[in-house]
A and B are shown apart, each in its own frame.
Chain A
Amino acid sequence: MQKFSGFELFRRALGGHKSWQPQWRNPEPKAEYDVIIVGAGGHGLAAAYYLAKEHGITRVAVIERGWLGGGNTGRNTTIVRSNYLFDESAALYEHAVKLWEGLSQDLNYNVMYSARGVLMLAHNHHDEISFKRHVHANRLNGVDNEWLSAEQVKEFCPPLNIRSMRYPIIGGALQRRGGTARHDAVAWGFARAADSRGVDIIQNCEVTGIRRGPSGAVEGVETSKGFIRAKKVGVSAAGHTSVVMAMAGVRMPLESYPLQALVSEPVKPAFPTVVMSNTIHAYISQSDKGEMVIGAGTDAYTSYSQRGALHVTTHTLDAICELVPQFRRLRMLRNWGGIVDVTPDRSPIIAKTPVPGLYVNCGWGTGGFKATPGSGNVFAHTIAKDEPHKINAPFTLERFRDGFLIDEAAAAAVAH
């Protein structure tokens, strides 16, 4: 791997930048691997990277139907935070935030993690007591989160209109270590770092079946490029998890919904932080390129269509026009949808399955991006050791049978 540094940039500039190599190979699949990851999104690539880095398993293939990072990794609104209510969730998302903080150095790739703060607005008494409960629970778990008054909210994010609106802002919860990262760079950084450790990333190769032996254990996957043998298969297929798991005969507690996002035309720096409001369904931050990045809600019905209804996005824009009146004059440039897999308790599943050798990392619903490094890290542990890391031990498939749901209201709908 060519190491990126200021010196390298300078040295190659002298040669007209002609000596740069591709950042990852584009190999044909081998006949057999130790581990196959299905899905080259951020989570799958991170799992492959940590399998190689922390567990010494380098005979790994990541198989991707389209191109790497082309699914929800490239479609989300790139928010990072860990202020979840329950101990299990706080531990999982905080694990991810700690990895985010050193990720650019670890990968030698600038993922542009920017801890600009995530501000969740309260508009009524219920919001206030709920957020204060979150603040206290978070601090007990060592996760930073603090309550701001309406005036402090205005001071922290001056463009906000806190008074003259239908539901005035009465305060907010701020996680200062929260922020944003560059979604594409996360996928590319993990891909490059995994590839340099010997992981084969096989794009434009669709998994069409999961082959199981007489004992029921996984033997490998059927793909559009032929059968590939592996004793361990990790499914990290986001919205298509139900479809892939059905190939192994496993029914999942998942439903797939379109989740929409949109961006405005790029403008100069005008919005200093990430602002979200569950109550009026607003969700906005400014990318380093200058676009306002806006997350809308999910559609009401399950779908794989990667587009949603217009009334879902206009609902969010109504709220944003009230919250930040100056944005009424912004033009929206693009909107799109991604397919998110939602669990009944809004918490992910990172676990072994009833099929020996088959592992699944899914159910991230509307908010998986923030967990990318942490999720891949514990999923790699689960695959390598054939048992979960203590952080993902509660996030089993069996919790729905045994009644140990992690009913994370902080993960609801637009609130990512």
Chain B
Amino acid sequence: MLIINCPWCGARPEIEFRYGGEAHVARPADPAAMSDQEWADFLYNRTNPKGLHAERWRHIHGCGRYFNAVRDTVSDFFVTTYKAGEPRPDIGESGQ
């Protein structure tokens, strides 16, 4: 089980959290102007990287808030967590 550092509550076990998928997938500003392909990209296409992944988590059995994390998908090591709305920290593309 992973230990995840909630930016508000601190380190807690994985079962307190819900995974929220890839982070920084911005909701379209002007939905009516989107083509079908752009909708497919927004709704379905994902980076799914082997390496560092910026992703959303929700501390559902704690503070209930969403936050973002950068995790290495090869080792499952959490490089950092940060509050929703903050930009992705600049830590490159490769792992630890």
Could you tell me the distance between the alpha carbons of A302 and B47 in the complex, rounded to whole angstroms? 11
> Is B93 interfacial (CB-CB < 8 Å)?
no
Q: Mark A241-254, 1 if CB is under 8 A from B, else 0.
A: 01100000001111
Could you tell me the distance between the alpha carbons of A253 and B73 in the complex, rounded to whole angstroms? 17
Residues of A within 8 A of B53 (CB): 302
Q: Of the listed stretches A36-44, A97-105, A305-313, name the one at the interface; the rest are far from the partner chain.
A: A305-313
The answer on a CB contact under 8 Å between B36 and A402 is yes
Residues of B within 8 A of A242 (CB): 46-50
Nearest Cβ in chain B — how far from A338, in angstroms? 15
> Is A291 interfacial (CB-CB < 8 Å)?
no
Residues of A within 8 A of B36 (CB): 401-403
- Taking a contact as CB atoms closer than 8 A, the residue among B15, B40, B49, B74 that contacts A253 in the complex is B40
> Is A256 interfacial (CB-CB < 8 Å)?
yes
The answer on a CB contact under 8 Å between B73 and A251 is no
The answer on a CB contact under 8 Å between A252 and B45 is yes
The answer on a CB contact under 8 Å between B40 and A303 is no
The answer on a CB contact under 8 Å between B47 and A251 is yes
**Given contacts A243-B50, A251-B45, A302 and B55 within 8 Å (CB-CB):** yes
Nearest Cβ in chain B — how far from A342, in angstroms? 10
Residues of A within 8 A of B40 (CB): 253, 400-401
Q: Mark B21-63, 1 if CB is under 8 A from A, else 0.
A: 1000000000000001101110111111110010100000000
**Given contacts A242-B48, A254-B48, A344-B43, A305 and B74 within 8 Å (CB-CB):** yes
The answer on a CB contact under 8 Å between B50 and A309 is no
Could you tell me the distance between the alpha carbons of A311 and B36 in the complex, rounded to whole angstroms? 40
> Is B18 interfacial (CB-CB < 8 Å)?
yes
Task: Indicate the size class of the contact surface on chain B.
Answer: 20 to 34
> Is B2 interfacial (CB-CB < 8 Å)?
yes
Residues of B within 8 A of A401 (CB): 36-37, 39-40
Could you tell me the distance between the alpha carbons of A401 and B14 in the complex, rounded to whole angstroms? 34
- Taking a contact as CB atoms closer than 8 A, the residue among A240, A303, A344 that contacts B76 in the complex is A303
**A220-253: which residues lie under 8 A (CB-CB) from chain B?**
240, 242-243, 251-253
Residues of A within 8 A of B45 (CB): 251-253, 400
> Is B19 interfacial (CB-CB < 8 Å)?
yes
Could you tell me the distance between the alpha carbons of A300 and B73 in the complex, rounded to whole angstroms? 13
> Is A195 interfacial (CB-CB < 8 Å)?
no
Could you tell me the distance between the alpha carbons of A301 and B57 in the complex, rounded to whole angstroms? 9
> Is A336 interfacial (CB-CB < 8 Å)?
no
**Given contacts A302-B55, A304-B73, A401-B36, A253 and B19 within 8 Å (CB-CB):** no
**B56-96: which residues lie under 8 A (CB-CB) from chain A?**
71, 73-76
**Given contacts A300-B19, A301-B55, A253 and B76 within 8 Å (CB-CB):** no
Residues of B within 8 A of A310 (CB): 1
- Taking a contact as CB atoms closer than 8 A, the residue among B15, B55, B76 that contacts A311 in the complex is B15
For residue B38, which residue of chain A has the nearest CB?
A401
Q: Mark A69-81, 1 if CB is under 8 A from B, else 0.
A: 0000000000000
Residue positions of A touching B, CB distance < 8 A: 240, 242-243, 251-256, 300-305, 309-311, 341, 344, 400-403
> Which 4 residue pairs of A and B lie closest in terms of their CB atoms, listed nearest first?
A242-B48, A253-B44, A401-B40, A300-B19
Can you name 10 A-B residue pairings with CB atoms under 8 Å? A242-B50, A252-B46, A254-B48, A256-B48, A300-B14, A300-B19, A309-B14, A400-B40, A401-B36, A403-B36
Besides the known contacts A251-B41, A252-B46, A253-B44, 4 further A-B residue pairs in the complex with CB atoms under 8 A apart:
A252-B48, A255-B48, A401-B37, A402-B36
